[in-house]
């Protein structure tokens, strides 16, 4: 579904300042890390290769070069099994590489951006709208034109204005 000559992977190598991600789904279990998710559900330890996945390299290289990768996850409690996995294993792992996480918890407040889709925003000028099926399987990315940019900057700003740092949220509501 990529509608650009550049792939999402290209953007992670080439952005200059910041890459922002908005996550809105409760389940991405069909989009990767399936073995780790199964291990989590079974109460088993993390697979040996869990901490050496390519994403850790991507984030680490970006952060070491002075660039920022950060995201907000819009969610409500109680957490799904997948969110418990993603936050307790994935976020905590990715933080060691320098990725920043924020939580917009809508359990006791209205979602300020209910219409916002999942997306990546690179350097405040390139939007990649992420597409998933109903089971959390990644279908592809659609790079949007400049006419969509202000809307997605607004989604980011609204999410960040009400989100709290993940570590703070996790101390209160996590494991």
Query: pLDDT of 94-147, one tens digit each?
Result: 999 999 999 999 999 999 999 999 999 999 999 999 999 988 899 999 999 999
Query: pLDDT of 137-175, one tens digit each?
Result: 999 999 999 999 999 999 999 999 999 999 999 999 986
Determine if the pTM surpasses 0.75: yes
Q: Compute the C-alpha angle 44/46/47, nearest 5°.
A: 105
d(CA 46, CA 90): 10
Q: What is the DSSP code string of 123-157?
A: TTTEEEEEEE-TTS-EEEEEEEPGGGHHHHHHHHH
Peptide bond into 78 cis (omega under 30): yes
């Amino acid at each position: 579904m990529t509608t650009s000559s550049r792939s999402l992977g290209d953007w992670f190598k080439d952005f200059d300042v910041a890459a922002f991600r908005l996550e809105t789904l409760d389940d991405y279990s069909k989009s990767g890390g399936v073995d780790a998710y199964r291990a989590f559900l079974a109460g088993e330890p993390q697979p040996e290769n869990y901490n050496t996945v390519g994403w850790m390299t991507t984030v680490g290289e970006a952060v070491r070069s002075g660039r920022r990768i950060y995201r907000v996850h819009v969610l409500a409690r109680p957490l799904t099994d997948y969110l418990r996995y993603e936050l307790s294993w994935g976020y905590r792992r990715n933080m060691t590489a320098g990725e920043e996480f924020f939580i917009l918890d809508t359990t006791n407040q209205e979602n300020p951006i209910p219409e916002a889709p999942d997306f990546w925003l690179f350097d405040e000028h390139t939007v990649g709208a992420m597409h998933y099926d109903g089971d959390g399987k990644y279908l592809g990315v659609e790079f949007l034109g400049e006419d969509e940019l202000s809307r997605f900057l607004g989604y980011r700003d609204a999410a960040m204005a009400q989100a709290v740092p993940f570590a703070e949220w996790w101390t209160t509501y996590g494991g």
